[in-house]
Structure formats: structure tokens, C-alpha cells
Amino acid sequence: MKAAVIVFPGSNCDRDLAVAFRDLTGHETVMVWHGETSLPEGLDIIGVPGGFSYGDYLRSGAMAARSPIMRAVADAAGKGIAVLGVCNGFQVLTETGLLPGALMRNAGLNFVCRDVDLTVGTSQTMFTSRYEDGESIVIPVAHHDGNYFADDATLDRLEGEGRVAFRYAGAVNGSARDIAGIVNDAGNVLGMMPHPERMIEGAHGRTDGRRLFEGLVGALS
């Protein structure tokens, strides 16, 4: 199984994500620079990491979404390759249009950096199959722009189609309907603000994020 992580100028969670993929797939993760125009052959998973790509200029994720490699990522997503966007990666995926909605400045204006309680919205995705529906888990967040916004029709559709992967169990950033993570309509693209790659081994304090990667690798095996 082959995973790649996209690296933008300003990415800072790319190596964490690469380690998570490596530990669960058993193969070294390929790092792909944003200026590339194509992805390596035979990829199964693409990670779009957290960080502050392009210094969050214009809007978080806006510049990264227009970088050459994202066209290749969009093509790959269209072919059904699994794409996981974490934090800034979620912002990039909404800016490219691979996921609906937008991530706005946190309602409290503060940068929020702490462990948060999440509720699993659905176990019926390739990313969440190792969780139970409605299960409570803890995953850290670290963001300034995590306030999910979409119009009511889009929110209704996301909920109606079981595409809300994770919700905040309490107030975190003002997100519409407490949405912390969503999948696209085909179910192969997940964007989430919390960082599952920061909770995968005992030294992290908890391992609640590990099952996301286990589930993904299991689904693709």
C-alpha cells in the first residue's frame, strides 16, 4: 500500500501525517512537493497536511488549493483514491471544491489549541469504520480558522447523507452544527480540523486517532 503526503511551503504537520501512514501501511510515505504537476504511480492514499500553507495569505488554504499538485490530487480523488485532509488540509480541500463549505475564523477569534471531545457522526465511511456510531473520542485541535460554514441546504444534505464524520461534543470554534469533519459524496475524501495523527501511540497520551488510519488501511487492503 502506498501513501503520499503533499508538502506546501508552510506545511508543518506533513511529517506527522507521513509517520502515521508509514506506521499503518508498513511502507515509507512519499512526500510530494506542491510544485509538482503529477503524483507517483500506484497511490492508494493522499494526505493533505496541517500547517499554514503560504502563510494563510488571502484565505487559509486558498493559495495551496491553486498550486499545480492540487489539480493532480483532484484528478486522483475523482478516480476514487482516498484523500485525507487534516486542519489546513481540510481548508485546502474546501478551497479546491473537493469538499463543500468553507472554514472561517473561529467564532471566539482565538487560536484554539487543545484536546477536544468529538462524537463520531458515522462509522459508514472508509475512514471511520473502526469507530462506533456516536462514539466519544478525544483528538487535539490547533487552528484559528476552523469555523465550518455552509448554507442550510448543504448542511441538511451532509447530515441527510450521513457525511458528517465527526462533530465537536462542545463549543470549540462556532462551526455550523458542530461539524468537525465531513466526507465528499463518493466517500473517498475526508476533511477534518482535529489532528488524528497526533494521537496514534501511547506517548501521545491516547490513541484515539490511530483507528482512523487502521480503518483506512483496512478498507483499502
Partner 1 sequence: MKTRVIVTLKPGVLDPQGKAVHHALTGLGFGGVNDVRVGKIVELDLADGTEPAAIEDMCRKLLANTVIENFRIEQA
Active-site residue numbers? 87, 195, 197
What SS3 class is residue 33? strand
Stretch that binds partner 1, among 2-10, 72-80, 102-110, 116-124 (CB under 8 A): 102-110
74 touching partner 1, by CB under 8 A: no
Q: How many helices (H) and strands (E) does the chain have?
A: 6, 11
Instruction: Give whichever of 47 and 101 is closer to partner 1, judged by the CB atom.
Output: 101
Residue 80, exposed/middle/buried by CB under 10 A (0-12, 13-18, 19+)?
A: exposed
Stretch that binds partner 1, among 11-19, 70-78, 103-111, 191-199 (CB under 8 A): 103-111
157 touching partner 1, by CB under 8 A: no
What does the block give as the cell for 100?
463543500
Stretch that binds partner 1, among 41-49, 56-64, 130-138, 203-211 (CB under 8 A): 56-64
The closest of 2, 100, 87 to 46, measured between CA atoms, is 2
219 touching partner 1, by CB under 8 A: no
C-alpha pair distances (Å), 105 with each of 37, 115, 116, 174, 191: 31, 19, 18, 9, 17
Element (H, E) at 47: strand 45-48
181 touching partner 1, by CB under 8 A: no
Residue 53 and residue 61 in contact, taking contact as beta carbons nearer than 8 Å: yes
Binding-site residue total for partner 1 (CB under 8 A)? Answer: 19
101 touching partner 1, by CB under 8 A: yes
58 touching partner 1, by CB under 8 A: yes
What residues between 104 and 133 interact with partner 1 by CB under 8 A? 104-109
Residues engaged in binding partner 1 (CB under 8 A)? 58-59, 62, 66, 94-95, 100-102, 104-109, 147, 149-150, 174
